[in-house]
Amino acid sequence: MVILASAPNKAAAHKFVNHVLDPEVGAAISNFTGYGSPNQAAFGAIENPIPLPTPEERRRLEYLEDLGPARVLWDKLWTEIKNG
């Protein structure tokens, strides 16, 4: 989560982030969505925890790199492909 520098109510944003990071709330979110959680304090309360990738699994993963200015061209091309 991020709080933009231009956020109109930074205090409320900080309270929301702190709320979501509460272990019980984090576990409830994971239990509802079925997604894993990076919140280690919540792990004990997650009904079906999703394990994080092991170092071996991370070595086999494919990572996407920022395309920089080329992103605009790729986005345009992909939009044309999708729209046929």
Q: Is residue 67 part of a domain?
A: yes
- Count: domains in the chain: 1
Please indicate, yes or no, if residue 15 is contained in any of the structural domains: yes
- Give residue 50's pLDDT: 84
What pLDDT, on a 0 to 100 scale, did the predictor assign at position 51? 82
Does 4 reside within a domain? no
- Alpha helices, DSSP H, located in 1-84: 10-21, 23-33, 55-60, 70-83
Residue type, 42: A
> How many C-beta atoms surround the C-beta of residue 23 within 10 A?
16
> Does a structural domain hold residue 5?
no
Predicted TM-score (pTM) of this structure: 0.61
Q: Whole-angstrom Cα distance, residue 1 to residue 81?
A: 32
Q: Nearest to residue 45, comparing CAs of 62, 58, 64, 30?
A: 30
- State the residue range of the domain holding 55: 10-83
pLDDT band at 38 (very low <50, low <70, confident <90, very high): confident
Which tokens in the block code for residue 59? 């070595």
